[in-house]
């Protein structure tokens, strides 16, 4: 009786294995088929949407939304055919230049409004992040003329992110400071300073003189503001820089305070991480000397903040100015610097 039960039990087990094996193979085959279909779908997406070369036609991916008009609008949208302003900053991703290689690619360029020829009409200078900049001269009644090439302000190379307008050398004519960025530390990342040559030549022209002025900063810059930070009557420069290594955007290191409490370490990890403060020494600079001096550490501007913009105002109703810089990553809060 015992033998028969054991034998029967053995036969049952064998039968169970034989019935399970085909089911296991069937499940395995289904998973393999699903995996192959998934790989095929991924391959199709890559073939269809990823650029095949360093350049590709973006037009087929462009979508233009219809303009909505209010019944009684306070502002009216003027077309390029009416104003003469046809500037476009198209974000064109390539295999070598995309969000994976350049995290700020979608930030676009910048714009500055300044009277470049002292006719009391504000002119417009657009910065393009991947092409030619444009300067439009205001001819009145919302009519503008493109004088970019004759003015010497095309500046097509490099990844340009922002522009600041100011009378840097105090000669009565507005100048332009163009910020440039990108993941690579090369000459195309140096900022540019275009000094207005005045009207002696009969037209509006600019000369690039950043190296002469000591403002050819090679950090990845995202904003700039000229203001009198030390109250000596000339314009100094606060430059917002963006650390190229985003690893520390979410990874914050800490140091121990005197009472052993952890303190976040926001010191720069790289030479070009920190914002910069340049003091204007035009009045004291000798022949051949640079006209601006980097005194960032001296005034307490030594940080790693992932800044995107900067603005300056008299926040405490005194002569001292305050620089407000908004940070993109941790700590995500405005930072106010007091200048005395």
CB 292 within 8 A of CB 237: yes
Higher pLDDT: 45 or 331? It is 45
Cβ-in-10-Å burial (0-12, 13-18, 19+) of 268 comes to: middle
Within its chain, how far is the Cα of 305 from the centroid? 14
* Listed range (148-157, 200-209, 253-262, 290-299) with the worst mean pLDDT: 253-262
pLDDT value at residue 6: 45
Question: Considering only CA atoms, which of 105, 76, 42, 66 is closest in space to residue 242?
Answer: 105
Residue 144 has pLDDT above 80, yes or no: yes
For 28-74, the pLDDT digits (tens) are: 688 888 888 888 888 888 777 666 555 555 565 667 777 777 788 88
Compute the average pLDDT of residues 221-237. Answer: 91
Residue pLDDT, tens place only, 76-129: 889 999 999 999 998 888 887 788 888 888 888 899 999 999 999 999 999 999
What is the three-class DSSP state of 253? coil
pLDDT over 80 at 245, yes or no? no
pLDDT given for residue 14 in this prediction: 46
């Amino acid at each position: 009786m015992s033998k028969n039960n054991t034998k029967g039990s053995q036969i049952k087990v064998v039968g169970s294995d034989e019935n399970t094996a085909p089911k296991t193979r069937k499940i395995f085959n289904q998973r393999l088929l699903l995996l192959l279909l998934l790989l095929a779908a991924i391959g199709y997406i890559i073939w269809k949407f990823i650029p095949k070369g360093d350049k590709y036609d973006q037009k087929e991916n462009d979508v233009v939304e219809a303009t909505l008009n209010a019944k009684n609008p306070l502002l009216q949208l003027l077309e390029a055919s009416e104003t003469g302003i046809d500037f476009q900053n198209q974000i064109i991703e390539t295999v070598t230049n995309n969000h994976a290689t350049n995290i700020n690619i979608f930030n676009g360029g910048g714009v500055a409004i300044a009277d470049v020829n002292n006719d009391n009409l504000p002119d417009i200078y657009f910065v393009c992040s991947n092409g030619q900049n444009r300067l439009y001269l205001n001819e009145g009644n919302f009519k503008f003329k493109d004088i970019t090439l004759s003015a010497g302000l095309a500046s097509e190379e490099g990844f340009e992110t922002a522009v600041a307008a100011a009378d840097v050398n105090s000669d009565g004519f507005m100048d332009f400071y163009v910020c440039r960025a990108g993941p690579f530390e090369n000459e195309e990342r140096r900022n540019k300073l275009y000094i207005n040559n005045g009207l002696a030549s009969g037209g509006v022209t600019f000369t690039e003189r950043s190296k002469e002025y000591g403002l050819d900063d090679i950090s990845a810059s995202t904003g700039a503001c000229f203001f009198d930070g030390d109250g000596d009557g000339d314009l100094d420069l606060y430059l917002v820089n963006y650390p190229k290594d985003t690893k520390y955007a979410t990874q914050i290191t800490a140091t121990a305070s005197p009472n052993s409490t952890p303190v976040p370490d926001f010191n720069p990890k790289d030479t070009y991480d920190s914002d910069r403060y340049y003091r204007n020494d035009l009045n004291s600079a000798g022949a051949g000397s640079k006209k601006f001096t980097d005194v960032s550490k001296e005034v307490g501007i030594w940080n790693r903040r992932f800044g995107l913009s900067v603005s300056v105002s008299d926040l405490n109703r005194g002569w001292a100015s305050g620089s407000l810089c908004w940070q993109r990553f941790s700590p995500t809060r405005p930072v106010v610097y007091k200048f005395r």
